[in-house]
Amino acid sequence: MGANVRGSLDSSHLLQLRAEKGAPADGLGVPNSPTTKAQAARKAAVKGTNSHKAKKVYTKPKFFQPKTLHLARTPKYERKATARFATLDQYSVLKQPLNTETAMKKIEDHNTLVFLVDVRANKRHIKDAVKKLYDVDAAKINTLIRPDGLKKAYIRLPADVDALDVANKIGFI
């Protein structure tokens, strides 16, 4: 170790003075010093900033994107002014009765009424419409779509109800 000469200080003596003042001995621990910033940049360049990110291991052969949050819609105004009402009521299901010769023969011989009905109507709709409009239960209903695109329904009535009486009540005989 060198002697303490006037005007010059030993390096170990400088370290001792810095330690007494509370500063780190190498000058690297000071938060805003240029050497601290340089050391941090060097470390980031060597190791990389994303070096600690774990890789996702896929164990299945298909990749599905993660499920994200789907919020319910909160519209500012209604898109339709009024709600739609049911379009298939009993009056729109049964369009008109058929009174051709074969339909009359069905009424007389098989106790069956023949109607043109809405194409969207199913057998349950037809049965309910006949019950509401003519107060008779249908025993069986057969439907077909004609070549011209209209749907025809054969409504078989039970034995205790006469199809001629119902046809007279409707008014097409």
Does 172 have pLDDT greater than 60? yes
What is the value of pTM for the model shown? 0.54
Q: Is the pLDDT higher at 4 or at 131?
A: 131
What is the pLDDT at residue 9? 57
Do residues 156 and 110 make contact, with C-beta atoms less than 8 angstroms apart? yes
* CA-to-CA dists, residue 71 to 13, 44, 62, 105, 135, angstroms: 68, 40, 27, 61, 49
Does 102 have pLDDT greater than 90? yes
| Pairwise CA distance, residues 134 & 170, whole Å | 8
Do residues 146 and 119 make contact, with C-beta atoms less than 8 angstroms apart? no
| Pairwise CA distance, residues 118 & 145, whole Å | 10
| Pairwise CA distance, residues 5 & 128, whole Å | 119
Q: Is the pLDDT higher at 18 or at 40?
A: 40
Give pLDDT tens digits for 43-92. 888 877 666 677 888 888 888 888 999 999 999 998 888 887 778 899 99
What are residue 144's phi and psi, to 5 degrees? -150, 155
